[in-house]
Amino acid sequence: MNFNDIFKSSFLENITGVSILDMAVALILAFGIGLFIFLVYKKTYQGVMYSSSFGVTLIALTMITILVILAVTSNVVLSLGMVGALSIVRFRTAIKEPLDIAFLFWSIAAGIVLAAGFIPLAVIGSTVIGVTLLVFVNRKSHFNPYIVVVSCDGHASETAAKEYLCKTTQRCTVKSKSAQKGMVEVNFEIRLKDDNTDLINTLSEMPGVKSAVLVSYQGDYMG
């Protein structure tokens, strides 16, 4: 092969660049691993509203990636043009969950590894990653954090509410506080000693306490 043969490209010659069998096997494997990634994502999702379209995107992204890599590896000219074409693509969809980035990168990496022919690496690696995510993401913390929003009428009732929470919970810290004439609202982060939440009922009946709300705390707090 000389220098001219490297850059020789015609449509008819490119048809036989990748065999039908290679394409079929690659797409089937990509679909299988993409489906596995989708199932792991579905099992480990901990957000508020589940997006089925994002799960389907993981399958499609694995298959699309393997198509691109197969095309690039079969033609030098196409690989140079692909770099320029992909450099102008901009994705403006905001990723709110940090774990979603891991799933997107996982899908792309699986497609690249499969297209490179490292099938055992793709299968075993995806299995290990999936089991790791299932174990650690679904692991329940022994002490679940909560936010208690207490509305009271003054300093005395606020102090009494805080002392009661410190006595009945394992941990109690003030996250934020807002005050206006005749009302004080305090947000406490607490860790319960057990799954019993009756302390909120008792707290709401204390003198000077107008309302008490218990909210599950996932670690993201705006205050």
From first to last of its 223 residues, the chain has per-residue pLDDT tens of: 555 555 555 544 555 566 788 888 889 999 999 999 999 998 888 766 677 888 899 999 999 888 888 877 766 555 555 655 555 556 566 677 778 889 999 999 999 898 888 889 999 999 999 999 988 887 655 566 888 999 998 888 888 888 998 888 888 888 888 888 888 899 998 888 777 888 888 888 888 888 898 887 655 444 3
**Residue among 81, 86, 73 at smallest CA distance from 22:** 73
**Is 189:147 a contact under the CB 8 Å cutoff?**
yes
Longest dimension (CA), the chain: 91
pLDDT of 169 reads 87
> Has this prediction a pTM greater than 0.95?
no
Neighbours of 103 (CB within 10 A): 24
Give the 3-state secondary structure of residue 13.
Answer: helix
15 contact partners, CB below 8 Å, separation of at least 6: none
Task: Name the percent of the chain in helix, strand, coil, to the closest 5.
Answer: 55, 15, 30
Q: What is the DSSP string of 102-167?
A: HHHHHHHHHHHHHHTT-HHHHHHHHHHHHHHHHHHHSPPPSS-EEEEEEEESSHHHHHHHHHHHHH
pLDDT at position 202 is: 87
Q: Could you give the domains of the chain?
A: 3-137 (no CATH), 145-216 (3.30.70.260)
